[in-house]
Amino acid sequence: MLLFLVLFPLLLGALAFMLPSERWRCWLLPLAGTLHLGGVTSIACHPLPVGDLWLGLDPLSLLVLLVTSILYFACSIYAVSYLQLRSDRGTRTIVACLLIFLSAMTLATAARHLGLLWMAVEATTIASAPLIYYNRNRLSIEATWKYLLICSVGIALALLGMLFLAYAALLGGVEVTLQFDHLLAESSFLSTAWLRAGFVFLLVGFGTKMGLAPLHSWKPDAYGEAPGMIGALLAGGLTSVSFLAILRALQIMNAAGLGDLARQQLLALGVLSLLIAAIFMVRQNDVKRMLAYSSVEHMGILAIGIGIGGIATFGALLHLVNNALTKGCMFLSVGNIHRAFASKKITDIHGAMRRLPISGTIFLAGFFAVTGSPPFGPFISEFTILRGIFAGGHFWLAGAFLLLLAIVFIGMGSTVLGMVQGTPDESTDTAFKDTFLLVAPPLLLLLLVLLLGLYLPPPLRHLLEEAVVMLEVK
């Protein structure tokens, strides 16, 4: 089943290159999204045994794969109408790259070998670069090159971190391998100095792909120039996969008795990310760049939750789910608003709820969700992380956490309310209207976020608890 989930998007990607019909090529995306979500759901209902293999799913990777699959399914439905509206750009490249991107994210999630994980994460970079360049203008090519350059440097640092892990095994007198389960089993024999160095490079390398500050500089440009659905996949899918890679390194550090050191480094980057996001989200004039800094903020929240540990780890993993779904909702609705006003400049957008009643309302509700307002899911996950911070006696951190979240809420709120309220300028009317396939996916994601704020399904709670055990066992 795992091989099927990795290989069939590649086959559909090859088919997308060969299909002559622009119209029918778009429907390969919802086909892939439906099959992938069905396969992941089947695995979730009947978990596969994890052995000493190259591929396998444990509770942690299954959680990431499940949320990534849900997000991709929603974006694949949205893509059909979006690509028909952008028929002048053609669909061969974007459809093929989206399918390859799905395959690469699945492979990275399921990899039980760190070398295979590294290769899959690098493949996501290559597959997503043409997606960022989709609009083919000066700003998009600049964003694409910046994305490729910075993320490739990060991936190179991650590779160096893996070499340090291998050298730690060599000095420890154990078999030199990057097989994850073997490293966990032999972690007590690994050279401590080289293991510490390896974790630093892995954190910096994969933290670059995740978008932790100060390694986030590619995000505002890439998210700002990419289509809305691509921003959704990057902010909700790629970041989750990159975070999983960091958690794999944390597991090895935990097993070697160095978990406290690793958590301190995560905590430092988390606080810095939250601070940078709060500063740059105030008076931001580009709505997609604003969402990019919101992504930096939530990556910081994830790092803080894992860095604190205990009940905050549960909150962080729940927040991973909430963040992916909320970012998908926000980026898809912003994509509709962008089309309706022919601009993503906040000063050009007023009265979005009048021009696009459904998309404007979804965007406003998404703002309350993404800023951690009740009754949405991020409120529960952020509150759980805050409980963990107080339980650990980190009162100064709790105060800073609340202050920075308040700054984000105020800064983002003034922007969003100005966009959705008021009367739209008739001179900016593009005759774009909401359609079912363009509003159903973000609405579905918003309803899921609302559900997670009101009720946590027992199967998901059980999966989260199993994942927490994997990260907390020392």
CB atoms inside a 10 Å sphere around CB 469: 12
Q: Which helix (H) or strand (E) holds 425?
A: none
Could you tell me how far CA 288 lies from the centroid of its own chain? 15
Q: What is the pLDDT of residues 185-235, one digit of tens each?
A: 898 899 999 999 999 999 999 999 999 999 899 999 999 999 999 999 999
pLDDT in tens, 362-416: 999 999 999 999 999 999 999 999 999 999 999 999 999 999 999 999 999 989 9
Residue 189 is inside which H or E element, if any?
none
Domain count along the chain: 1
In this prediction, what percent of the chain has a pLDDT beyond 90? 80
- 54: helix, strand or coil: coil
| Whole-angstrom distance, CA of residue 24 vs CA of residue 321 | 32
- Rounded to a whole number, what is the largest CA-CA distance in the chain? 73
Query: Which single residue is written with the structure tokens 């090159």?
Result: 145
* Cα separation, 301 vs 38, whole angstroms: 30
> Which one is predicted more confidently, 46 or 299?
299
pLDDT for the residue numbered 336: 94
286 phi and psi, to 5 degrees? -130, 120
* CB-CB contact of 48 with 57 (8 Å): yes
Q: Which two tokens stand for residue 207?
A: 């933290």
Structure pTM? 0.95
Give the DSSP per-residue string, 232-288.
HHIIIIIHHHHHHHHHHHHHHHHHTT-HHHHHHHHHHHHHHHHHHHHHHHTT-SBHH
Q: How many other C-beta atoms can be found within 10 angstroms of the C-beta atom of residue 238?
A: 23
Tell me how far apart the alpha carbons of residues 296 and 288 are, in angstroms, rounded to a whole number.
Answer: 13
**Mean pLDDT for the chain?**
92
Q: Which domain holds residue 235?
A: 2-472
8 A C-beta contact, residue 212 and residue 276: no
Q: Confirm if 356 and 420 have CB atoms less than 8 A apart.
A: no
Task: Using alpha carbons, select from 238, 237, 171 the residue that is nearest to residue 198.
Answer: 171
